[in-house]
Structure 1
Amino acid sequence: MEGIWDFIQTVDIDDIREILDRQIAFNMAIAEEGIRGDYGANIGSVLLSMDPPNIRVRAKAMAAAGSDARMNGCELPVI
């Protein structure tokens, strides 16, 4: 944990921007597919339909949607 903490406190974001942008793009793509598609329990869609839209609900919904999609046959990459 100490090494991780040191890294996030000292890294120059421009040195890792390309990797982070790739991770964001891949993970958003599968999360969006999980919202659009019919994967597993569709927890992401359920969360979005039940609670008023806010960043906390959206973050949980997108994580759940990506997980449902990946665990239920979607072959999009995840990082």
Structure 2
Amino acid sequence: MPIIQVTLVEGRDDAVVENFIREVARTASRELGAPLSSVRVMVNQVPDNHFAVGDRLKSDEPPTADRPNEA
């Protein structure tokens, strides 16, 4: 039973995250030869002030058009 955990910075629409979960499950099933019903996908979303690269918090970076939800 594949168990996949993904951590994302908060801010994406629920529909986008839900579609991502479905696609990850389908891909895991196909590539691992596992029944789709056995695949578990969990997405943990963290606030941007709880995620950093080095000492720079994601909340320190103003979003830009080409990087709206990077990470």
TM-score, normalisation: structure 2:
0.34
TM-score, normalisation: structure 1:
0.32
The structure that is strand-richer by fraction is: 2
